[in-house]
Amino acid sequence: MLRPSPVDVLAVLDGTIEGTEAALPALRGKRRDECEDALADLRATRSAAAEMIFAGDRLTAAFRALGLDGSLVNRSRLARECEDAILTFDTALARVKGGAE
């Protein structure tokens, strides 16, 4: 099975935001309003994507730590961290999905 090429989503969004910001001074009226609305949507999308990426990294790190640590003392703490990381990721994913199930 072929793996899709990686995409730096945040860099793509940053580039699109920068391009939209650069275009704003030349726009007037309704077109400018539409562009400003699109810019606000892009910024919100970037924020939600960054939050999900951070939460995914935290989730991965928590489960790796749980799998590597054989100590019963640490296991309980690591399990709580995994649970918290899952909840954080679930919240971030729901935000990216716009509340869709």
Q: What DSSP element (H or E) covers 49?
A: helix 29-68
- Which tops the pLDDT comparison, 84 or 68? 84
- Which tops the pLDDT comparison, 24 or 1? 24
- Which tops the pLDDT comparison, 3 or 90? 90
What pLDDT digit, counting tens, does each position of 50-76 carry? 999 999 999 999 989 888 877 777 888
- CB contact set of 27 (below 8 Å; sequence gap of 6+): 35
Calculate what percentage of the chain has a pLDDT beyond 90: 67
- CB contact set of 46 (below 8 Å; sequence gap of 6+): 10, 13, 14, 17
pLDDT for the residue 101: 54
Confidence of residue 8 (pLDDT cuts 50, 70, 90): very high
Confidence of residue 45 (pLDDT cuts 50, 70, 90): very high
Domain boundary assignment for the chain? 9-96
Instruction: Provide the whole-model pTM.
Output: 0.81
Whole-angstrom Cα distance, residue 40 to residue 23?
A: 14
pLDDT for the residue 69: 76
Residue 15: phi, psi to the nearest 5? -65, -40
